[in-house]
Structure 1
């Protein structure tokens, strides 16, 4: 299985730009959907991203979701993890 992109939640003295928490949520959801829905139809991927983002309180951007869905649906499906 491919590793998930790392997300650092370390706090520092530098001020963060507005919306950084929302972007963390988007990154997290896209990484999860990339593992579970790759190779599926764009509609199914977009719906999964949309549903999961809303569950995190993020109102999805339709164009951005469509771009993510297109890329994720074009990825090959992962083999089953039979541990």
Structure 2
């Protein structure tokens, strides 16, 4: 009888870094806040990011949140969506 080849079911998943799901959640929240809070005060943006990160199960990194908030608060407001 010939020996069987080994089978690895997790070969595709092992190429991802350990925190990839958390980073997807952070990206989602930052993009969402970028659409709703751009141009507002840095403190308001920071609070919105922290609240929404906690709601998706991510413990906010204060330094990272501050960097995102600083950039988002400097963005110009989006024009109103009048698609009617």
Instruction: Report TM bin, short chain.
Output: 0.7 to 0.9
Q: Name the residue aligned to 1:18.
A: 18
Bigger Rg, which one: 2
RMSD between superposed Cα atoms in Å: 1.2
Task: Report the count of equivalent residues.
Answer: 72
Q: Name the residue aligned to 1:77.
A: 77
| TM-score, length of structure 1 as denominator length | 0.82
Q: Name the residue aligned to 1:47.
A: 47
Gaps of 5+ in 1: 1-11
- How much does 1:70 deviate? 0.2
Gaps of 5+ in 2: 1-10
